[in-house]
Amino acid sequence: MTIDLTVDDAGAGQRLDALLAEPLGSRSRAARLIDDGMVHVDGKVVPKRHKVVAGQRIVVQEVVEAAAPADVGATVDFDVPYEDEHLLVVDKPAGLIVHPARGHMTGTLSQALEGRAAGGREDWRAGLVHRLDRDTSGLLVVAKSDAVHETLKAALQRRDITREYLALVEGRPPAKAGTIDAPIGRDRKVRTRISTDTDVPRAARTHFALLEALPGTTLLRVTLETGRTHQIRVHLQAIGHPVAGDPEYGRAGLLGLQRQFLHAARLAFPHPVTGEAVAIESPLPADLAAALDRARGRG
């Protein structure tokens, strides 16, 4: 198998072996393949300590993987509110990982979509146009061909794909609507976190509007202009109003939540083939609806 990927903004600044730990299953395996000359960055062999730059192309050749079980994604449960011969929209539940990553090599959405989704350079995330964090629920668009995948990726770059989220946050933002314009990247001290305190800042813009003011919390509609890793969670924490229940950037367990109160509730885009407007909405899952009731004083 060959892995062919392009470094995105979230990966920029990482060591090569650390970046490849996810698709290859472990950092030690990545380091071994780099040392063996099986990894090329923009066509060149570089050391494992090489710090990657956004836009660089990384190719891993002759990677031999153990065969995955045929039913590797068979138990994955998700809804498909829209599908045609060109694409599908998935309503991802919380807890479901979008594609294989270190420590989670099976039971992912991309594996469950094998034979149904296509497009993109990486077979291990075929058809995926964007992603959601493991414990963020909601809507994702998935392509069924290379042509559709390329068109959707281009639409995402042009910001022609609208991604709206519902977020319950701690406290009350100072305005009914606003924009958070703050570059983010890998945190200087804690490399597993994203923050505004970073050596490799990437432009990030998040728009929010107040939907409901509650005692101690606020329900917001949040729209992404850019799509950095953990962007909404980091931006809301940066202005002093972290997402309720967020175990990484806020207070875990708030309102009885087992995850952050963040749901990709609406997805809208021009169809990549017909040009017709596609707009899909997803209701709040039961756990978030129950937390919202508690926030309103009903639970």
3-state secondary structure of 78: coil
Q: Residue 182 CB: number of other CB atoms within 10 A?
A: 17
pLDDT at 5: 87
- Quote the tokens at residue 56: 């660089």
The pTM assigned to this predicted structure is 0.77
Per-residue pLDDT tens digits of the chain, which is 299 residues long: 578 889 988 889 999 988 888 777 678 778 878 876 788 999 888 999 999 999 999 988 754 443 344 444 445 789 999 999 999 999 999 999 887 665 556 778 988 999 999 998 777 788 999 999 999 999 999 999 999 999 999 999 999 999 999 999 999 999 999 999 999 988 888 877 899 998 888 899 999 999 999 999 999 999 999 988 899 999 999 999 999 999 999 999 999 999 999 999 999 999 999 999 999 999 999 999 999 999 999 76
Residue 133 among the catalytic residues = yes
pLDDT reported for residue 105:
61
Please name each of the domains of the chain with its CATH number: 3-60 (3.10.290.10), 79-160 (3.30.2350.10), 163-264+290-295 (3.30.2350.10)
What single letter denotes the amino acid at residue 185? G
Q: What letter represents residue 206's amino acid?
A: T
User: Which of these is catalytic: 133, 135, 246, 287?
Assistant: 133
CB 74 within 8 A of CB 108: no
Give me the amino acid identity at 137. Answer: S
At 80 the pLDDT is: 96
> Helix or strand or coil: residue 210?
strand
Q: Dihedral sign, CA of 230, 3, 190, 108?
A: positive
- Given the DSSP bridges, would you call strands 262-270 and 137-143 parallel, antiparallel or unpaired? parallel
Answer yes or no: are the C-beta atoms of 48 and 16 closer than 8 Å: yes
- How much is the pLDDT for 75? 59
